[in-house]
Amino acid sequence: MSEDQPKITTLGRFVDRVSQIRKEWGIDEQKELWFRGEGEKHERSILRPALYRPPKGGRAMREIAQLLNIECELYEEFQRCGAQLLGEKMQVEDQDWDWYFLMRHHDAPTRLLDWSDGAMIALHFALNSKTKDALRDPKAKEHCKPRVYVLGPDRLKDCLNRCSEDNRLAKERWGKYVEKHPSFKYGEDREDEWEFAYLPADKEEREELPIPPLPLVLESRRSSLVLLFRAKCKAIKAPSDQSRSRVGASWCRMRK
């Protein structure tokens, strides 16, 4: 969608725009679209996970390695403190991921970027964020630009699957890693086991087992639909018109 396209001002027009996107992309009603609502507070960090958003006050961002170290320290501390407060028992084979998702939903900075399969949920977050921003700075109310981003997850998965060499190397590195560290073996028949390489790790672990370079599309038991990024990479930037049609990504500008 171009910057000069009129803003959507009514709920009906929003619903029509979602339907129009489905039609343009040739996606039937049985297939999922993912949605993410962002307000003015993300204007300088469009579609970036919290760990990679610019600091407040115009301060320079830390180096990626430093941010990954911070994330790892928070991950370990969150598990230590959270274990005594957890109200439900986690499944052993998924607890590392569950802790990571839970950490994100308690507003800790991570590489996870939340999406929803509900357009109205994303719309709520976009407009709610605008309202909070306007309350903090009434003068900025008219300049707020809440947006709802739309993603075709199946198309994205197809694009990522075509990067077979990157996936092969990531799986090969994981295989060598668990041979050396058998305690990290999660199961004999888990095809997705290599994805554990995306979890937070300290500097020494990352040198031995680098975080895979491609984004990872996840659907968690806790109803999270997320993209997991290795670093502040080009894939986070708003896509061009050509790549939008190929991957399946768009956005709607809203006016409250």
Instruction: Confirm if 24 and 215 have CB atoms less than 8 A apart.
Output: no
pLDDT, tens only, 163-216: 889 889 999 999 899 889 887 776 666 667 888 999 999 999 999 999 998 888
Domain that holds residue 238: 11-154+214-253
Query: According to the model, what pLDDT value does residue 243 have?
Result: 38
pLDDT band for position 2 (cuts 50, 70, 90): very low
Q: Note whether residue 177 is domain-resident.
A: no
Instruction: Confirm if 116 and 35 have CB atoms less than 8 A apart.
Output: yes
pTM: 0.81
Instruction: Confirm if 115 and 34 have CB atoms less than 8 A apart.
Output: yes
Q: Where are the alpha helices (DSSP H) in 89-216?
A: 95-105, 119-136, 153-161, 164-180, 203-208
Find how far residue 256's CA is from the centre of its chain. 25
Query: According to the model, what pLDDT value does residue 151 have?
Result: 92
Q: Which of 166, 205, 168, 167 is nearest to 184 (CA)?
A: 205
Q: Note whether residue 207 is domain-resident.
A: no
Q: Note whether residue 116 is domain-resident.
A: yes
Crossing angle (nearest 10°) for helices 119-136 and 11-25: 130
Measured between alpha carbons, how far is 105 from 67 in angstroms, rounded to an integer?
A: 19
76-88 average pLDDT score: 85
Pair of tokens at residue 81: 């403190």
Q: How many domains does the chain have?
A: 1
Q: Note whether residue 161 is domain-resident.
A: no
Q: Note whether residue 64 is domain-resident.
A: yes
Measured between alpha carbons, how far is 179 from 213 in angstroms, rounded to an integer?
A: 22
Q: Which residues lie below 8 Å from residue 176, measured CB to CB, with a gap of 6+?
A: none
Q: Note whether residue 4 is domain-resident.
A: no
Lowest mean pLDDT among 9-18, 48-57, 119-128, 140-149: 140-149
pLDDT, tens only, 88-131: 777 777 788 989 998 998 999 999 999 999 999 999 988 886 66
Strand partners, 116: 35
Q: Note whether residue 188 is domain-resident.
A: no
Measured between alpha carbons, how far is 171 from 169 in angstroms, rounded to an integer?
A: 5
Q: Note whether residue 163 is domain-resident.
A: no
